[in-house]
Amino acid sequence: MAKSFNYEFYKESADFILSKVDFKPQIALILGSCLGSLSEEIENKIIIKYEDIPNFLVSTVDSHAGELILGELAGKKVVCMSGRFHFYEGYDFEQLAQPIRVFKLLGVETVVLTNAAGAVNVSYRTGDIMIIKDHIKLMGASPVRGPNVAEFGPRFFDMSDAYTEELREIAKNVAAEQELNIREGVYFYWSGPQFETPAEIRAIRILGGDAVGMSTVTEAITAAHCEMKVLGLSLMTNMAAGVLDQPLTTDEVDETAQKSADSFKKLLRDIIARI
């Protein structure tokens, strides 16, 4: 970590992005693995490669485009990450604060986070969508550790309403209109990249987790620090390890994500229209 993560560090990235567009995005979208095709529907888009943005992180996953897409979706000005950053890729937790802080400086007020997750709650089914009501993060450090950047928020901050109630209500209403049986539950953060063991899943269930996954939480914490509104949606791509008598494969994760992509996109689009 050669550079210090101060306000100027993030501002340099944001100023570069703002110099490429003639509007300020209101909503940021970070779309989870296999759920990213919604970004193709963004209109009047301007695409900026991560590698061209000063101080921005660079995607390590080959299949990820590593691009920021700015434009219009469902009548809203959006910025969308095509390719997100995870701790398991080798970044430090502090580095993972970066996209959200840059979005804050672009003028974004609302962050929509989606992910693929394993269903820990045995009443859930593969293909179900869960609105994140709350999370549990017992692993690793906070993305906002280190010297506090006071321009973003205070040293200590509240997490009671990190997943904004008003947005959860919008998601529930849209799901009801679409006759989609939506869940609401607790997302348990897992640093990965290995999936959990069956014993770990039993422990997560006892602790109160309904779904488990390797993303989203660092972004939600960073957003709470700078008082942005957050909506988190998880797609249950598989039952978590040990729930079924079968091994867990990434093929299953990808397959479910592909199968559910259309209904997920429809839900997301209508939610964005109402934000």
Q: Which residues bind ligand HPA (CB under 6 A)?
A: 116-118, 190, 195-196, 212-214, 237-238, 240, 248, 253
- By C-beta, is 173 or 250 nearer to ligand HPA? 250
Burial of 197 (0-12, 13-18, 19+ CB in 10 A): exposed
- Would you tell me how many other CB atoms lie within 10 Å of the CB of residue 140? 14
With beta carbons less than 8 A apart as the criterion, state whether 209 and 88 touch: no
Phi, psi for residue 152 in degrees, rounded to 5: -90, -40
Q: How far apart are the first and last CA of the chain?
A: 37
- By C-beta, is 178 or 194 nearer to ligand HPA? 194
Closest distance to ligand HPA from the beta carbon of 75 (Å): 31
Closest distance to ligand HPA from the beta carbon of 120 (Å): 8
- By C-beta, is 91 or 157 nearer to ligand HPA? 91
Distance CA 178, CA 175 (A): 5
Give the nearest residue (CB) to ligand HPA.
118
- By C-beta, is 178 or 249 nearer to ligand HPA? 249
- By C-beta, is 86 or 104 nearer to ligand HPA? 86
With beta carbons less than 8 A apart as the criterion, state whether 146 and 57 touch: no
Strands (E), the chain: 27-30, 43-49, 67-73, 76-82, 110-119, 129-136, 183-189, 211-213, 229-239
Closest distance to ligand HPA from the beta carbon of 83 (Å): 16
Closest distance to ligand HPA from the beta carbon of 29 (Å): 19
Closest distance to ligand HPA from the beta carbon of 211 (Å): 8
- Residue linked to tokens 């009671």: 160
- Residue linked to tokens 């914490």: 221
- By C-beta, is 134 or 196 nearer to ligand HPA? 196
With beta carbons less than 8 A apart as the criterion, state whether 84 and 32 touch: yes
Closest distance to ligand HPA from the beta carbon of 196 (Å): 6
